[in-house]
Amino acid sequence: MALQLVIGDKNYSSWSLRAALAVDLAGADCEELRVRLFQPDSRAQLLRYSPTGKVPVLLTEQGAVWDSLAIAEYLAECYPESQLWPQEQQARALARSICAEMHSGFTALRSHLPMDLARDKALAELPDEAQADIDRICAIWAGCRERYASTGNYLFGQASIADAFYAPVAARLRSYRVALPTAAAAYVETIYRWPAFQRWYQAALQEVKE
């Protein structure tokens, strides 16, 4: 199966990161096509690949799949042996629930702490609405880790789509030096030790030097 993943800038595009981590989890043979964002022709370039003019988009032999959640589900169906979702029914339902919450929520966090992997500086003041989002995220992580810690260090023990979706959040919390509870800080460290995330992170740091 010939696949191409169209992504934006690795330093800034959180949704591209989610899709790329899902591709890695699937073990799919996939070529990355990067379109620089925030350029005069960025939208025109993206419209060549996706009807939304946004990243990410997965190009398959049958056509385009856009939106990171749709891409993750497509990969889970195409590569069932890779077990992108937890295998136990309740765990899988919980993983889908928290991914959907991530996909549609946490707008204050997105607005006030946009992903910038090269950043290493706290905000002068963290808005209350952003702190509320962070508190909710920490509660999600703590609940998952409490239930599934015995099988590994990721949210459901082994790395899954849920970790792909929350990795950009972990990156934000480190980039902006947000003070975290012990369990949340440990999970951020797990994400930064994830080989697939590390490859993306190092490429992002190199990208900003270009």
Could you tell me the residue ranges of all domains in the chain? 3-82, 89-197
pLDDT at 24 over 70: yes
pLDDT at 210: 83
Residue range 24-47: mean pLDDT, rounded: 96
DSSP the chain: --EEEEE--TTT-HHHHHHHHHHHHHT--EEEEE--SSSTTHHHHHHTT-TTS-S-EEEETTEEEESHHHHHHHHHHH-GGG--S-SSHHHHHHHHHHHHHHHH--HHHHHHS---TT-----SS--HHHHHHHHHHHHHHHHHHHHHGGG-SBTBBB--HHHHHHHHHHHHHHHTT----HHHHHHHHHHHH-HHHHHHHHHHHHHTT-
pLDDT at 64 over 70: yes
**CATH fold for the domain made of 3-82:** Glutaredoxin (3.40.30)
- Span 192-209, pLDDT tens digits: 999 999 999 999 999 998
- Span 91-132, pLDDT tens digits: 999 999 999 999 999 999 999 999 999 999 999 999 999 999
* Domain boundaries 89-197, corresponding CATH code: 1.20.1050.10
